[in-house]
Chain A
Amino acid sequence: MNAGADFPTLLEEVFHGDGRQLRHLLQPLTAEQRRALFSEFKDLLKVLKRACRFRADAKGVSLSELYHAIRDDPTAFLRERADTLAAQGALNNAQLIRQLFYTQLMEFYNRLQLLQAGLAGKGSTASVFRYSAQYPVWCTQFMLHAGRILLDRPEPWVRDTLTHMFAGLENRTRFTGADLGVARLLQEARQRHPDWAEALAPHLGRAMRRDGFFSRTLNGYDAGMILAGLEYDPPSGTMASFEPLMDPKVAESLFTRMADGRLPRADLIALTLRKLQGPLQPGVAKTWIECQQRLALSDTEIQGQAEAFINLLNAPAPAVSKRALRIIEKYFLTDTRQGEELISALGYLLQNPVQVLAKSSLRLLKKLVKSNPELTRPALNAAIAGLSNPHAALRHELARWFGAFPVSSFGDEALQRLQEAAIALPVVEQASLTSLLTVANNKPPVTHDATPLDYRADLDARLALLQQRLKEQPNNGVLRQRLAVLEGYLATGQCPPLEPAVAGHASALSAPDFALHETAEALAADVVRTQRRVFTQADYDRILAGMARFTLSDHDTGRIRAILAPLLSRLDHWRQTAISEAGSGPSGELAGLILAHAWQTGEWIAFPKGSRGEQLLNIQFGPALRRRLKHVLALRAAGQETLLSVPTHTTGWLTPEVFAERFARLPRPLLDADELSAALYRLPALPEPRAIAWTRLASLVESRSEALDEAVALALAPDDRARRSLDWFLDRFARQPPNEQLFQSLASIGGSGLVETFRVKVLHHTPETPENTAFRLFNAALRCRFGLDDAQIGGRASALAERLAPRAGWLSRVLQHPGADSSPFAELLFAPRPVTETLADAVHTAAASVSFIYDTPYPFLWPYLLAHPQQFAAPGRVADLAYQFPPLAQRLFEAGLCRQGRKEDYYRDLTLKLLMQGRLPQVDVRPHLARAARGLAVAQPAQREVCVDLMAQWLNDGRMTPVDGAITLATLIRETGQGFAHLNQALASLRVTGPLGSATVLLALERAIGGGVAGFPSRKLSLILDQLSTVLEDTPYAVSEPAARDVLSTLATVKKSVSRDKANALLTRPLMTDQPPAWVLALAPPAGE
C-alpha cells in the first residue's frame, strides 16, 4: 500500500486538504487496497454526508471539532458521538450559511465525494454523480476531478460508470462550472483507453460543445473530438444558439490545424456539406457557408461532390440554396452525367416560395436546355410543377417560356399535367399557354365575358331606395344630404360637394334604451355574478336602481335568498383578518357582497378594522359609491323608487324632461347633491328639451334658494337667471372656500408653470361639508351648461364664462401660494381646453404622484392625465368616464390621439379604449382626421383595427366624407415608406367594412397613384397595385381618375418589372363614359349591402 494512503492521512486530506492532493494519494492504490479502505470509511462517509445534508434548525458543529472527534477514535465516534455531533444538518444549516462558511462546506463535501469515487465499488461510485438539492452544490470542475480519480482506477467497470456520467451530462450540469473540463476528461479517457473509443463516441460532440470550444486554440483535442463537436446539433434550449464556428479564433485554430495536417481536409469538407444540408438558422448557415468558401474547394473536389451540391439546391436554408445554385451553374450545368438529377432538383426548386431562388432555378433550367437541347423534354416536364409557385411574376415568366416551345417538345403526359396546372392559373397568365392548352384540351381556354353595366338604371334604383329610407327616417340629415348629392349628380353629371355631418348630442333624442332589471330575481342573479367581473358604472346604476325598486319583502324572498346565498356566505371571509391575502377572491366579490347585504338587510355592512373587507373597501367600493348606496337605502326606507341620476340611454345620456320629472317628484329631503351632480353631467346640450325641463322646474327652483336649486338654474336657466346663480356660488366660495381633495391631490413639488400653481398647502379634506358639496354641484352645473365647448354651445356660454375670472380671489386663496398664477388651474376646471401633448406633459409633471381615486367627482380632468403615455388606468375606466359625462368622449378621444403619437406608450389597451371613444356620435372628428389616420400605419394589428373601425364609423355616420377620407389616406399612402405593409393591411380592412370604405380606399389609391409613383419602392408599388386590383375586383368599376390612368399607362410600358403586368391588368378593365364615381354610388348602397 502507498505509505501515505492510510485512513488517518486520507481523513486529514478530506478535512483539511484539497482535491488534487487527494487524487495523488488515491492514484497508486490497487483494487484490493481500495476495497479495504472503503470498508474503513464506509460508515463514516455516510455520517459525514448526513451532516452535510441541509436542515435549517440543526445544531452546528465546526469542521475542526468534528475532525478531532473522529481522528482520536473513529470507532468510538461512530458508536457514541455521531448522532449528536454529526446529526443531519450539523454542517449545513441556516445559521452556518449565514456565517459564510458555505464555500468551506462545499469544498469539504466535494472531497467526500471524491474519496468515495476513489474507493467505493461500482454502485456507490455511480451515486457520486447523483445530486440532491439538500446537499451542498458541486465545486468548479468537480466532474473533471471525480472523472480523473475514476480513470486512475484499475477496475474494468470504470468505463461503464464514466459513459453513464457522460450520458447524463445535461442533468449534472445545473451548477455553473461543475461541468468545466468534461471535454478534457473525455480526451484523456480516449488517450488512456483507445479501446473505449466506440463507447465514448456518442458523447464527444456534446462534451465539446459543453466546454471544449472554450479553449479557443483547441489545444489538447484531437481531430475526432473537434469534428464531433462541430457536427453536434444541440437540442433546442440553452446551447442551441451557440455555434463554435462563429468565434473567429476557433475558426482560425481549425484552419491552422488543417494546414499543418492535424485535421483531415476531406473530413472537414464532408462535414460542411452535411451541415449545410440541415435546417440551420440564417446566422449559422452564413457561418458554415463562409467556412466552405474559406476551404476554397478545388475543381476536382467540387466535381467529386456533385451529388451533395445538387442536394443542397433544396436545402432548408435559402442562403445555402443560393450558394448551391452558383456552384451548379459554374460546374455542373454542362455535365450531362448529372442531368437527370439536376433537372429534378431544379424543378422542385421552382416551387420554392422564396422568389429569388425559384427565378434562379428557372434561369438555370433555360440555360441547361439551351446548352443541352436533348434535355428539353425532361426539363419542361419537371418545370410544370413551378406553375404552382405562389409568385405571379415567376409563373408568368415560366408560362412564357413554355409558350416558346412547340407542342412536340412536351410529351402527352406532360401536356396533361400542364392542362391540370393551368386550370388554377389566372386568365392573364393562361394567355402564354393558349396554343399548348388548345392542343391538350381541344378547346380554347375560358375567357372573361364582361357585360357592360347600365349605370343610369343602377343609379335610379339606388336613388329610389334612398328616398324610401328617408321616408322612414325623415329626421335623418345624413340621408337627406346623400340624397341631394345623388340627385345633383343625376341632374348635372357633376358631383355636388358632400358636407360632413356635424357632431352633436342628437343621439340623446333616440328612444331610451337603458334597460333596468325586470324582476327581482334577475337583479339578484346580476349581483351574484362577481366572477371575473368588475362592476361598471352602468352596472351600479342598474343594480342600485333595482334595489330602490324591488324590496325583498314584496317578492319571493326564498328564491332570491337562495340566489344570493353563495355570495352572502363569503361574509365571514371578508370579515376575517388576513393582511397577506388581502387581494384574494374574485374581483367583483366584495362589491357584490356589499350590495347583496344592503339589499337584504337594508343596512350598510360593517367590516372590523384590519379585516380583508376593510383593507379593500376604498379600492372596491369607494367613498362616493358608499354615499350613493346609503342614499339608495334612504330612498327605500322612504318608499321612493326614483334614483335621480340613472340615465335613460346606454351611452349615459339622461333626457332633460325625465330629469325634470324626477327632480320635481322627489321630496326635498331625499334630493341628494351628489346624485344631482351626477344627473347634471348626463344632460345633453339640446336647447329645446332643456327649455322644456326648465319650464317644468322654474317655479320649483325659484321658490327656494339652496345650492341644489341654484345648480339647476345655473345648468338650465336662461342667461340672466343663470348669471344670478353663478354669482350666488362665487359669493359663497368667497365667503367659505371649499377644501376639496382635488386641490390637495394636485399639490406637487418643484418645477414651474402648472407645478407652481399646484404647490399648495396640505388641506384638511372634509368632503361632506356644505361648501365642498356646493363646489361639486357648481362644477357639474358649469359642465352641464358649457359642456366641453362642444355641440355648438361655446358661443352661447361666452358671456357667463367671462365672469369666471382666472384670478378669482377665492381660488387663489385656496391654492395658498402667494403670487401663484391660478389661471392654468382655473382653465382646467372652468374652461377645459382640447387635450394636447403639451398640456398632457404639463399636467403629468404637475400631478405625476397623484393617485386619482376612481370615483372622482371631476371626470373632466381625467383626459389630461390619461393623455400622457406613462399614465396608467384600468382600460374599463375610460368607458365609465364617457358614460358618466358623455361629452367627455371628445377629450378622451383626443387623449388617445396624444398617446398614439408617442413611442413610449406602455399601456396600449388604455390607448385603444381612449381612441374608441371617437366612435361616439358626439365627438367632432374633423380637426383630427390626419392624426387619427396615422394609426392605420402602426405595427400593432389591434391598434390599426381600432383606427379602421373609427374611419368606417365616421364614413357611415357622415362625419367624414369619402372624399375627405380619401385625401387623408392618399397623403398617408404617399408619405408612408417603411412599414407600408401595415398600412396596406389597414386599407384591406377598411375596404371590407362596406361600400363606403371600399369606395374611399379606391379613391385614395387612385389619388395616391395619380400623384406619381416615381419615388415609391417597388415593393410598395406592387402592394398598391395589388390593393387597387382587389378593390376593383368586387365592383364593376375601372380606374377612373385620369392622372392615375396616365401613371398606370406609363408603368405598363416599363420593361422587366412586376408592376408592368399588374398595371396592364388594371388597364384592361373597360372604362365606361357614364361611370359615376364609386363614392357617389356608395352613398346609396343597393338593398342587402
Chain B
Amino acid sequence: MGEQSIKLETAQGAAVEHKVKLPERWIKGFLQVQAVHRQAQPRFELDRLTAGQLLMQIPASASKTPLFLVPRRHKPEILHRQPVGKDGFIAVNDGQRLRLLHTVLPDLKTLRVYQTEATGASLWVADTGTAQFTLGLSGAAAHGFSGDGDALRQLSAVDADEADLALARAAVASLNHFSIADLAQHQDLALPYATEIVDRLAQQGVLGFDRDRDLYFYRQLPFMLGDRYQPDRLKGSQALLAKQAVDVEHCEWRNGELIANGWVRGESGYYPVTLRVDAQGYLQEGHCTCPWIDQHELRRGPCKHLLALRFVAEQTG
C-alpha cells in the first residue's frame, strides 16, 4: 500500500488501484451517502442460492422503468411492474447497475438489502463470510448521491453549541466506530441533542455511516469543509430568511409532526409552499411550485423555499 496506489498481487496476476482526483461534487456526494444510509431500512436477507438466481436475471440493458425484484426463496424473479397487493419486492431504478455484484457471486454467502423509501436509493451488502462488499445505488443512474439531497431533509432550525460540536468532533475521532447512544454516554449529552450533534458533524464531512452494522465511523473527506460549510440550497434558504421572504399562513404541531404552509418570495418568483416534517425531524412531504420541485419533486431533496419555510415554522410554531 503506497501513498498513491494500492497493489494486490496473486499467483494469477496483479491489480493496481491508483489514487485519482475526484471532482468536488463526487466528494460532496459522500455527505449525502451517510444521510441516505441512515434512512435505509432493511428489506431482505437472501441466501447465496436465491441471491445468485436473482442477480443472474438482471437484464444487461438499461430500462426506462424501474425493475421490481421479488426475492422469493428458490424462485426469485424480476418484474417490470409493481406486484399488486404484495410487499415482497424491492423497486430499483436502472437495475442493470446490480450486475456489478456478479463479480462477488462465487464467494457470496449472504446478500442483505436496505432501501431508503424517499429516494429509492438502495444498499446491497454482499457478505462473503470474511468480508462485506457494499454496493450503494443512488435513486437513479442519472444522478449520484449528491443529487439525492437527503441530508437536507433532516436539517432543522435547532442549533448546536459550538463548544459541544468541537468537543464531539474530537471525541468521534477517538471513538472510531460508535452509535449515537455511545456518543451521548461518552459526552454526557441527552440523546436528542447528541443526534443533532451527530447530524451536524455528518454534514461537515467528518462522519460516515455503516448501515449494515448500524454504526457511525470517523472519516475525513479529502477537503476541509469547515464549520461554515453550507450546501447551496441551505445558503439560499438563509438568504430568504434574511430578506424575511417567508410568509407562514398556517403552522401546527400534530403528534410530534410539523405541518405548515405559506408563501415564499424567491429571487425569481413567489411560491406557495406546504410541508410535513415527521417526529424524527425528517421532511416527509413537501410541495412548492418552484422549478426545482416541479422537475424533481422531493426525489432530490427539498428546495431552498421548503427549507426556509421549515426553519421559520419551527421557530414560530
Residues of A within 8 A of B (CB): 277, 311, 348, 351-353, 387-390, 395, 423-426, 521-522, 525, 528-529, 531-533, 559, 562-563, 565-566, 941-942, 944-945, 948, 985, 988-989, 992-994, 1026, 1029-1030, 1033, 1088-1089
Contact B49 A388 (CB under 8 A): yes
B134 at the interface (CB under 8 A from A): no
B64 at the interface (CB under 8 A from A): yes
B84 at the interface (CB under 8 A from A): yes
Query: Given the complex, which residues of B lie within 8 Å of A351, measured CB to CB?
Result: 105-106
Contact A559 B64 (CB under 8 A): no
Contact A994 B84 (CB under 8 A): yes
Contact A424 B49 (CB under 8 A): yes
Contact B84 A992 (CB under 8 A): yes
Contact A1029 B269 (CB under 8 A): no
8 Å CB contacts to A: which residues of B46-91?
47-50, 52-53, 56, 63-65, 72-75, 77, 79-86
Q: Given A992-B86, A1030-B75, A941 and B80 touching (CB < 8 A)?
A: yes
Contact B64 A993 (CB under 8 A): no
Q: Given A390-B56, A532-B295, A985-B80, A425 and B85 touching (CB < 8 A)?
A: no
Residue in contact with A559 in the complex, picked from B48, B52, B53, B270, CB distance below 8 Å: B270
Contact B85 A531 (CB under 8 A): no
B263 at the interface (CB under 8 A from A): yes
Q: Given A992-B84, A992-B86, A1033-B75, A425 and B49 touching (CB < 8 A)?
A: yes
CB distance from B295 to the nearest CB of A (A): 6
8 Å CB contacts to A: which residues of B252-272?
263, 265, 268-272
Residue in contact with B12 in the complex, picked from A277, A531, A942, CB distance below 8 Å: A277
C-beta contact mask, B158-188 vs A, less than 8 Å → 1, else 0? 0000000000000000000000000000000
Query: Given the complex, which residues of B lie within 8 Å of A942, measured CB to CB?
Result: 64-65
Residue in contact with B75 in the complex, picked from A353, A424, A525, A1029, CB distance below 8 Å: A1029
Query: Given the complex, which residues of A lie within 8 Å of B289, measured CB to CB?
Result: 525, 528-529
Q: Given A353-B52, A529-B289, A565 and B270 touching (CB < 8 A)?
A: yes
Contact A529 B106 (CB under 8 A): no
In whole angstroms, how far apart are the Cα atoms of A1033 and B85 in the complex?
Answer: 15
Residue in contact with B295 in the complex, picked from A521, A531, A1089, CB distance below 8 Å: A531
In whole angstroms, how far apart are the Cα atoms of A989 and B105 in the complex?
Answer: 27
Contact A424 B47 (CB under 8 A): yes
CB distance from A1008 to the nearest CB of B (A): 19
Residues of B within 8 A of A (CB): 12-13, 47-50, 52-53, 56, 63-65, 72-75, 77, 79-86, 102, 105-106, 108, 263, 265, 268-272, 289, 291, 294-295
30 A–B pairs (Cβ distance < 8 Å), ordered by A: A311-B12, A348-B106, A351-B106, A352-B106, A353-B56, A390-B49, A423-B47, A424-B50, A528-B269, A529-B294, A531-B291, A531-B294, A532-B291, A559-B270, A563-B271, A566-B269, A941-B63, A941-B64, A942-B65, A989-B81, A992-B79, A992-B81, A992-B82, A992-B83, A993-B84, A1026-B75, A1030-B75, A1033-B72, A1033-B75, A1088-B85
Q: Which 6 A-B pairs have the closest CB atoms?
A: A992-B83, A424-B47, A531-B291, A426-B74, A562-B270, A424-B49
Q: Which residue of B lies closest to A387 (CB)?
A: B49
| Residue with the highest number of chain A CB atoms closer than 10 Å, among B82, B106, B265 | B106
Contact B12 A353 (CB under 8 A): no
Q: Given A525-B272, A529-B294, A566-B269, A988 and B65 touching (CB < 8 A)?
A: no
CB distance from B123 to the nearest CB of A (A): 22
CB distance from A565 to the nearest CB of B (A): 7
Query: Given the complex, which residues of A lie within 8 Å of B86, measured CB to CB?
Result: 992
Query: Given the complex, which residues of A lie within 8 Å of B102, measured CB to CB?
Result: 353
Query: Given the complex, which residues of A lie within 8 Å of B271, measured CB to CB?
Result: 525, 563
In whole angstroms, how far apart are the Cα atoms of A388 and B55 in the complex?
Answer: 13
Q: Which residue of B lies closest to A426 (CB)?
A: B74
Query: Given the complex, which residues of A lie within 8 Å of B64, measured CB to CB?
Result: 941-942
In whole angstroms, how far apart are the Cα atoms of A5 and B33 in the complex?
Answer: 69
In whole angstroms, how far apart are the Cα atoms of A892 and B80 in the complex?
Answer: 25
In whole angstroms, how far apart are the Cα atoms of A565 and B53 in the complex?
Answer: 58
Contact B52 A566 (CB under 8 A): no
CB distance from B51 to the nearest CB of A (A): 9
Contact B265 A562 (CB under 8 A): yes
Contact A559 B263 (CB under 8 A): yes
Contact A945 B80 (CB under 8 A): yes
Q: Which residue of A lies closest to B68 (CB)?
A: A992
Contact A532 B294 (CB under 8 A): yes
In whole angstroms, how far apart are the Cα atoms of A529 and B269 in the complex?
Answer: 10
Query: Given the complex, which residues of A lie within 8 Å of B295, measured CB to CB?
Result: 531-532
Contact B291 A388 (CB under 8 A): no
Q: Which residue of B lies closest to A562 (CB)?
A: B270
* A-B contact sample (14 more), CB < 8 A, given A388-B52, A388-B108, A1089-B85: A277-B12, A311-B12, A388-B49, A390-B53, A390-B56, A425-B49, A529-B294, A532-B294, A559-B263, A566-B269, A945-B80, A992-B79, A1026-B75, A1030-B75
Contact B79 A988 (CB under 8 A): yes
Q: Which residue of B lies closest to A311 (CB)?
A: B12
Contact B80 A944 (CB under 8 A): yes
Query: Given the complex, which residues of A lie within 8 Å of B63, measured CB to CB?
Result: 941
CB distance from A1081 to the nearest CB of B (A): 15
In whole angstroms, how far apart are the Cα atoms of A993 and B81 in the complex?
Answer: 8
Query: Given the complex, which residues of A lie within 8 Å of B53, measured CB to CB?
Result: 390
CB distance from B25 to the nearest CB of A (A): 23
CB distance from A842 to the nearest CB of B (A): 34
Query: Given the complex, which residues of A lie within 8 Å of B85, measured CB to CB?
Result: 994, 1088-1089
Query: Given the complex, which residues of B lie within 8 Å of A989, measured CB to CB?
Result: 79-81
Contact B294 A941 (CB under 8 A): no
Q: Given A941-B65, A994-B85, A1030 and B77 touching (CB < 8 A)?
A: yes
Query: Given the complex, which residues of A lie within 8 Å of B49, measured CB to CB?
Result: 387-388, 390, 395, 424-425
Q: Which residue of B lies closest to A278 (CB)?
A: B13
Query: Given the complex, which residues of A lie within 8 Å of B105, measured CB to CB?
Result: 351, 353
CB distance from A231 to the nearest CB of B (A): 13
Contact A563 B269 (CB under 8 A): yes
Query: Given the complex, which residues of B lie within 8 Å of A992, measured CB to CB?
Result: 79, 81-84, 86
Q: Which residue of B lies closest to A990 (CB)?
A: B81
In whole angstroms, how far apart are the Cα atoms of A522 and B272 in the complex?
Answer: 8
In whole angstroms, how far apart are the Cα atoms of A387 and B270 in the complex?
Answer: 63
CB distance from B271 to the nearest CB of A (A): 7
In whole angstroms, how far apart are the Cα atoms of A559 and B84 in the complex?
Answer: 45
Query: Given the complex, which residues of A lie within 8 Å of B47, measured CB to CB?
Result: 423-424
Query: Given the complex, which residues of A lie within 8 Å of B80, measured CB to CB?
Result: 941, 944-945, 985, 989
CB distance from A660 to the nearest CB of B (A): 37
In whole angstroms, how far apart are the Cα atoms of A390 and B47 in the complex?
Answer: 12
CB distance from A534 to the nearest CB of B (A): 13
In whole angstroms, how far apart are the Cα atoms of A204 and B234 in the complex?
Answer: 55
Residue in contact with A521 in the complex, picked from B12, B48, B50, B272, CB distance below 8 Å: B272
Query: Given the complex, which residues of B lie within 8 Å of A1033, measured CB to CB?
Result: 72, 75
Contact A945 B270 (CB under 8 A): no
In whole angstroms, how far apart are the Cα atoms of A390 and B77 in the complex?
Answer: 12
Query: Given the complex, which residues of B lie within 8 Å of A522, measured CB to CB?
Result: 272
Contact A566 B75 (CB under 8 A): no
In whole angstroms, how far apart are the Cα atoms of A948 and B265 in the complex?
Answer: 46
Q: Which residue of A lies closest to B268 (CB)?
A: A566
CB distance from A993 to the nearest CB of B (A): 6
Query: Given the complex, which residues of A lie within 8 Å of B65, measured CB to CB?
Result: 941-942, 945
Query: Given the complex, which residues of B lie within 8 Å of A1088, measured CB to CB?
Result: 85
Q: Which residue of A lies closest to B55 (CB)?
A: A390
Residue in contact with B48 in the complex, picked from A424, A529, A1029, A1089, CB distance below 8 Å: A424
In whole angstroms, how far apart are the Cα atoms of A764 and B303 in the complex?
Answer: 53
In whole angstroms, how far apart are the Cα atoms of A521 and B272 in the complex?
Answer: 9
Q: Which residue of B lies closest to A352 (CB)?
A: B106
CB distance from B62 to the nearest CB of A (A): 10
CB distance from B105 to the nearest CB of A (A): 7
Residue in contact with B77 in the complex, picked from A528, A529, A988, CB distance below 8 Å: A988
Q: Which residue of A lies closest to B61 (CB)?
A: A941
| Residue with the highest number of chain A CB atoms closer than 10 Å, among B74, B81, B83, B271 | B81
Contact A389 B52 (CB under 8 A): yes
| Residue with the highest number of chain A CB atoms closer than 10 Å, among B49, B52, B105, B272 | B49
